[in-house]
Chain A
Amino acid sequence: MLWIAWKMLIGNRAKYLGIVFGVAFAALLIAQQSSIFCGLMALTVSQILDVEGAGVWVMDPKVRYVDDVKPMADTHLYRVRGVPGVDWAVRLYKGIARARLESGSYEQVILLGLDDATFIGAPLTMIDGSIDDLRSPDAVIMDVVGYRKLWPDEPFKRGRIIEMNDRRAVIVGLAKARKTFQSFPVVYTRYSQAVRFAPPERKVLSFVLAEPLPGIAPEELATRIGAQTGLQALSRDAFLSKTIRYYLLNTGIPINFGITVGLGFLVGTAIAGQTFYLFIVENLRQFGALKAMGTSNGTILLMVLAQALHVGLVGLGVGIGLAALFGWATRSLSKLSFYMPWQVLVITGVAVFLIVLLASLLSIRRVFVVDPAIVFRG
């Protein structure tokens, strides 16, 4: 009987495509907007993700998210190193600096000061130059997207000079870094250098990055550090969650995207529901004939649900495919964030399932109450 249901469904091409279009449109809107939302959320934590190797981030107790830097005294580094279970701990400077370009214009940049000895937190992928070039006097490395933003259509020029806090900085390399939420260029330098590029402050230490000894979980070490130093210590994952939670609760981003996703759901339900309803109404006589010939209401329900599931799966596939195609086509646009984790597929799938379920529930009553004797009316 499911085969008959399937033939009935695809037999009416126009209606079939209309229903699939409705579902696909909803899936596209939901998946695409959710992926952009995820992309934006990923931007908020990009600088945590870019720091590889450190399992624990230690910061001022008042810090709410990664960009909410509250400078600490440098001596906190040694307090952290004194906590049992710490394998190593290093300093990290993170701040916003104003860079003066050769043209005389100013641009804001994200300044990251890496531990002079170990370069923990350095970019993993260099496009030009080497991370060791940072040992040169006044050396900085810039992220490639930021460089192209400051000097569009110009090839990389090693040795290019910029000024920060009236101090000369020499660009010695290009690195690949994740896009940031502020979309400012990212400038890497040594910690000792960074504090000179930054506006003068009494305290300059932004974070202490620590790694637990083998056998100790980052969460456990974070608890120990917090208890012993009174600082806020979070595992990398916990810091990611805290940052994302901050943006979710304190910005309008979730509401704005939620409205669009909700509209996609409503529009999809309306289009798919109405078209599916019309499809069922047009086929009432056929369902009546099947009932007259001995098809039970239970079987009819299965047929309608199978039809709904079919258009749901096809629509979901088309919608997700188009959303992924959109993400692929816009991957080179630095201003657009698109990240489609598996959770987006699950959310979109659940939404589409609800859409087709609602559409079939709207229609099924008409089939249930149809009198099999309808077939005797010419």
Chain B
Amino acid sequence: MPSSAPRSPAVEVRGVTRDFGSGDAVARALRGVDLDIPHGELLMLVGPSGCGKTTLVSIIAGTLQPTAGEVKVLGEDLVSMAPAARVRFRRANVGFIFQSFNLLPALTAVENAAVPLIIGGWSRRRALPAAAVLLERLGLGSRLTNLPNELSGGQQQRVAIARALVHEPRLLICDEPTSALDAENGRITMELISGIAVQPERVVIVVTHDQRVYPYADRIATMEDGQIVSIEARRSGEVGAPTQHA
């Protein structure tokens, strides 16, 4: 939760540019983006389709490299990091909640939730009970052995939340977490994210079009045409321009 004391930035993005394609066909998705996100904050990235939100979170999550600029996450320089180290960094520090859930259809709810632990080297015997505890907290105690196609959209998203949090990551990336859900399930999802996911040592970034979820944000960064055009501090009431650095 935000506090009035200054917090160290968990995410530092400096002058990040990202191009796709080459030659005359090059398309610039990000144009010198600067952004700081402190520990314990829930930041929402909003803006029209194609404005670069997904590209920016992909770079912050370490799944995409910038064309230029600096990206430091949890004190690690993702740009200079070797690919294998970046994979290890994601494994240990990043949790994902996707718009289309991306649950493995052949795994049960508890097995899906345990996947990050298994990727991290846990045995199934240890991972499944740990995942089950989290699912029970999320109200899915009776659906542990159901396959994704036996769950409603809201239940699937709760499994995805459990999967994103089970290994206690310090960076949580949520990509349109409510867009595939009805209003009620969207509200429940955001309450779970803001209630369970937001921790003092964790950064939560939510990419969204859904204005109904804005009240859950600590700050809202609005993007347009590959740039952050404004940052609005919701809970503290502060409204300002994007972070500027010399």
Contact = CB atoms under 8 A, between A and B. Distances in A.
Contacts of B63: 291-292, 371-373, 376
Given A12-B106, A373-B58, A293 B119 contact: yes
Contacts of B58: 373, 376
A292 B96 contact: yes
- Assign chain B's interface to a size class: 20 to 34
Given A296-B84, A296-B87, A373 B104 contact: no
B176 A378 contact: yes
Nearest to B95: A293
18 contacts: A3-B124, A7-B106, A8-B104, A288-B102, A292-B90, A293-B94, A294-B87, A294-B89, A294-B91, A294-B116, A299-B119, A372-B63, A373-B64, A375-B175, A376-B63, A378-B99, A378-B100, A378-B175
A290 B106 contact: no
B102 A294 contact: no
Interface of B: 54, 57-58, 61, 63-64, 84, 87-92, 94, 96, 98-100, 102, 104-107, 111, 115-116, 118-120, 124, 175-176, 179-180
A292 B58 CA distance: 9
Contacts of A294: 87-92, 94, 116, 119-120
A294 B96 CA distance: 11
Question: Which of A291, A292, A372 has the largest count of B CB atoms less than 10 A from its CB?
Answer: A292
B106 A10 contact: yes
Interface residues of A, number: 27
A293 B115 contact: yes
Contacts of A7: 104, 106-107, 111
Interface in A1-28: 1, 3-4, 7-8, 10-12
Contacts of A295: 87, 91, 119
Contacts of A292: 61, 63, 90, 96
Closest 3 CB pairs of A and B: A11-B106, A294-B91, A372-B63
B64 A371 contact: yes
Contacts of B102: 285-286, 288-289, 375
Nearest to B124: A3
